[in-house]
A and B are shown apart, each in its own frame.
Chain A
């Protein structure tokens, strides 16, 4: 029971780190970025490349994955995505799906179609007994790390000047500009951080979820589910939604494996029927 709950939390936390960037771009900046998984792909591949080719320690690969994905995010925001903030949602969909197709093919061309290998350091392997349940050390690590990330993000968004600038820029970009907020820079930084987190999630998740060129498509649905269920107010919603979905999915598959595949969708549809705007709707 404890084990299952904990596995669910770890899975949910991973989903959160992977998807929270999307919940910010989609929820706050109103930009439909279906290419979000590409940043996770970047992170996962950078981590496995550093580790397997250059023997870099796993603990250094994680920040490297974050930085690499953030850098790719920043550059692509500047060159590509920024032009589309004002476009229609459908154009954004078309464009970002195009990016997904291109990156899948490009990664396959360069790295081949197979799964990437991440070998965990010995400190993170094995299991520990907590509250009568046996828990994987790595999952514990995931929960701890993602928990810290979530808290830091919440602080960044609510407690800092940057956060209030971002919220202002989102609410009314024109007025924010008038007040001297560099809206473009704020968006660019936000986008880069979100991309970086996806990269971190990709590197962290490679061991649990696998990492191959199709990652952005395979997990797109899950990202969208998290954002949809969480609502568009920001990361708190995404956090709760990730945990809810992670636990429901794992527990469902454990207790009723016959209908395991339905559960995540059923939970999502149920939540959206009760609360059409998601768990945390913005007050209008």
Chain B
């Protein structure tokens, strides 16, 4: 390094900017934990949201930070789910071990397939990822003596989390377990994307040729992030298998890959939060609408997507906080109003 002494310092500070969670984010995490007490009847749904959020986060790592589009991310979700499910079925029911196995299996598949995927145009990538996922789907259907085929994998029995907390019918353990996993992996993801490695990925995404001229080898970095993303998706799949104690073929289904892409795009790619926000919005809207009209809720979800695009993400993302602020102000106004029991 021949640069002046101050340069690395400022570079480091530039790197670490954004690597530290802002206050508001801590509040959000706290709120998520508080849900256990505030919304005890919705923990199962929240668990699903947490898992979907993690899954979307995994897609964000490749789509938002490396520009790799995928229509087959469900492949890794499915591999993780089957890995965790099979492990538990055959007597190794420790959840955390299961997650490592899920991550490992998915990472392996991700690493191997990355050499197929990371070439060609966006369309080629979409199609190859899709093809890989569909072949895995058919393979899981065919290998019914291992996977249970279309009947699904039964007999998944989980031990308590860390030997302490049993999975309960209310979904409390499941939710906290998934949320905890999401939290740890989210923090890790933030470290990674703000590390020199993460920044070099962005450089590759921006312009692979120029990044190459700077001495960044795009290929190897893309393989690394793709593998990591696969591992993340595998953990999400593993969580699903463990918390539902069942694995069915639809973990590998095309719609799962398509849904997670929608979730991420709704939330906005490339900032790590998008997947989390999108998962919340998508699942809540789906639950709410399908409660109102079990037959035709898809229409309204479709309309929502269309409106999001027509109005524009930017306007929505700028508009929503303003709305929220207004709502908060009104709430506060109410709380301060006479007759309020608050001190």
Contact = CB atoms under 8 A, between A and B. Distances in A.
Interface of A: 26, 80, 83-84, 87, 89-91, 93-95, 97-106, 108-109, 217, 221, 224-225, 227-229, 232, 259, 261-262, 265-266, 268-269, 272-273, 276-278
B126 A102 contact: no
A93 B264 CA distance: 12
Contacts of B303: 98, 102
A283 to B, nearest CB: 14
Residues of B in contact with A, size category: 35 or more
A85 to B, nearest CB: 13
A213 B298 CA distance: 12
Nearest to B129: A269
B138 A265 contact: yes
A50 B123 CA distance: 37
A146 to B, nearest CB: 23
A130 B295 CA distance: 48
Contacts of A277: 120-121, 124
Residue of B116, B141, B255 ringed by the most chain A CB atoms within 10 A:
B116
Interface of B: 69, 71, 116, 119-124, 126-128, 130-132, 134-135, 138-139, 141-142, 254-255, 258, 261-262, 265-266, 269, 295-299, 301-306, 308-310, 313
B116 A95 contact: no
B124 A262 contact: no
Given A98-B306, A265-B135, A266-B135, A224 B127 contact: yes
Contact of A89 (B69, B258, B262, B299): B69
Given A87-B309, A227-B123, A265-B134, A98 B302 contact: yes
A93 B261 contact: yes
* In the A-B complex, the 3 residue pairs with the closest CB atoms: A98-B305, A101-B302, A276-B120
A100 B255 CA distance: 13
Nearest to A268: B131
B295 to A, nearest CB: 7
A276 B305 CA distance: 31
Contacts of B269: 90
Contacts, number: 123
11 contacts: A95-B305, A99-B306, A101-B298, A101-B301, A228-B126, A228-B127, A265-B134, A266-B135, A269-B128, A277-B120, A278-B124
Contacts of A227: 123
B123 A221 contact: no
Interface centre among A98, A225, A273 (most CB of B within 10 A): A98
A89 B138 CA distance: 29
Given A83-B310, A94-B309, A276 B262 contact: no
A26 B123 contact: yes
A89 B68 CA distance: 12
A91 B309 contact: yes
B262 A94 contact: yes
A272 B130 CA distance: 12
Which residue, A83, A87, A97, A278, has most C-beta atoms of chain B within 10 A? A97
B302 A91 contact: no
Contacts of B254: 221
Contact of A99 (B126, B139, B302): B302
Contacts of B313: 91
Contacts of A261: 138, 141-142
Contacts of A268: 127-128, 131
A276 B119 CA distance: 6
A221 B134 contact: yes
A102 B266 contact: no
Given A83-B310, A95-B306, A102-B302, A108 B124 contact: no
B135 A272 contact: no
